[in-house]
Amino acid sequence: GYLMMDQKFADKFRIVYGLRVENYNVEVDALRILSGNIEKSVDDTKLDFLPSVNMTYSLTPKTNIRASYYRTLARPEFRELAPFSFYDFENMGMIIGNEKLKRSSINNADLRFEYYPSAGEILSVSAFYKGFTDAIEPFRYDVNSTPDISYFNTPKADLYGIEVEARKNLSFINEQEFLKNTIAYLNVSLVHSKVKNPTDLDYIDKSRPMVGQSPYVINAGLQHSALDNKLSVNILYNRIGKRITQASGIRFASTWEAPRNVLDFQVGYKVLKGKGEVKLNAGDILNNAINVYYDNKQLSMPNETSFKYKPGSNYSLSFNYTF
C-alpha cells in the first residue's frame, strides 16, 4: 500500500511526499535430475518501506527549481535466481543462476532547474545521485571456448552525474513555414559510477564503473509536422559511451561494449478524418556493428574482440485506427 500527500505553501512552493510499503515473497523450486526430488532453492520474504519527497519552487511563471528524494528497489529476475544453466546466444556464453542473490536497494536524489520559454519548449539542467546497496551485476568467471556468466551482489555502488535537456522550435532562425513547424530536441547526460566489490571475489575488479553504465548518453532529434498536422516526420539519434557488459578483471578480463550510433526515422500520415494513421518506421538505419571486447592491460588483452556483429536495420509499415 501507499500514502501520498500534496501540499502547497503560498503560491510558489509545492511539496508532494509519501510512503510506499511492499511485502515481497519469492519462491523457486528446483527439480534435481539425479534424485528426481523437488527442492526449494529460494524462499525469501522482505518488507520494504519506500519514502519519497518532491519539492517544487516556482521562481517565475516560466521557471522552476525541483528537488527530490526517493527510494526504489531492483529485484532479481527468475533466470538470475534459478539454479540452472542455459546458453545465451546474445552473450555467447552459459548463463548460470545464483540462488543467493539479494534484491537491490537504491537511494535516489536530484536537483533540477527548468525554464519553459513557450509552449512545447524547455531548457533544463539537472544534477542527480544514486546510491546502490547490493546492486545486481553479471560477471564472467571462465573464458574457455564457452564462458560461464553468473550474477552477484555488489555491496555498495555510487552513481552521480548531470543532465542537460533542450527542446526548441526552429522559428527563431527565421519565419519560414517549414521552420515554424520543426522542433529540435537534445538530451545529454554525463555520468560517473563506481563500485566497491567484496574482497573474497578476487577475480573481479575492486574498483570500476557499474556494469551497463556509460560515461555519457546523447539523444537528439528533429520533429516536423505539415498539412495541418496530418503529416509528421521524426528523426532520432542516440549514442552511448563505452560500458562494461560483464565484470571480471583480475583473473579474467572484463568485457566492454564500444560506443555505437543509432539513427531511427518515422513518418506518419493521418487519414479517415484523423481517426486512422499510417506509419512507416525505419530503425537502426546506420546499422553500426555491436563490438564487445576484452579490456585488461594487466592480462595483455587491451581491445581484444570477444564478438562483433551487425544487428541489421529494421523496417515496418503499420496502420492504427481509433474508434
Q: Which residues contact 71 (CB under 8 A, 6 or more apart)?
A: 49, 50, 51, 52, 105, 106, 107, 108
Does the pLDDT value for residue 143 go beyond 60?
no
Query: How does pLDDT run across 124-135, given as a tens digit for each residue?
Result: 999 999 999 999
Rounded distance between C-alpha atoms, residue 226 and residue 100, angstroms:
56
Q: Which residues contact 212 (CB under 8 A, 6 or more apart)?
A: 243, 244, 245
Q: Lowest-confidence range among 130-139, 148-157, 245-254, 267-276?
A: 245-254
Does the pLDDT value for residue 278 go beyond 60?
yes
Locate cell 518488507: which residue? 47
Rounded distance between C-alpha atoms, residue 292 and residue 307, angstroms:
5
Rounded distance between C-alpha atoms, residue 28 and residue 93, angstroms:
23
Query: How does pLDDT run across 51-84, given as a tens digit for each residue?
Result: 999 999 999 999 999 999 999 999 998 888 887 7
* C-alpha pair distances (Å), 200 with each of 140, 197, 208, 246: 16, 9, 16, 18
Residue range 31-43+54-321, CATH number: 2.40.170.20
User: Could you tell me if 78 and 84 are in contact, meaning their C-beta atoms sit under 8 angstroms apart?
Assistant: no
What ranges do the domains of the chain cover?
31-43+54-321
Does the pLDDT value for residue 300 go beyond 60?
no
Average pLDDT on 227-253 reads 88
Average pLDDT on 285-302 reads 78
- What pLDDT does 266 receive? 97
Does the pLDDT value for residue 262 go beyond 60?
yes
- What pLDDT does 45 receive? 85
Does the pLDDT value for residue 296 go beyond 70?
no
Average pLDDT on 119-144 reads 89
pLDDT, averaged across the chain: 88
- What pLDDT does 174 receive? 87
Q: Which residues contact 18 (CB under 8 A, 6 or more apart)?
A: 2, 3, 4, 5, 51, 52
Q: Lowest-confidence range among 16-20, 166-170, 184-188, 244-248?
A: 244-248
Alpha carbon 64 to its chain's center: 26
pLDDT band at 148 (very low <50, low <70, confident <90, very high): confident
**The residue type at 182:** T
State whether the Cα torsion 117-119-123-129 is positive or negative: positive
Does the pLDDT value for residue 12 go beyond 80?
yes
Q: Which residues contact 35 (CB under 8 A, 6 or more apart)?
A: none
* C-alpha pair distances (Å), 87 with each of 100, 146, 147, 318: 21, 9, 10, 34
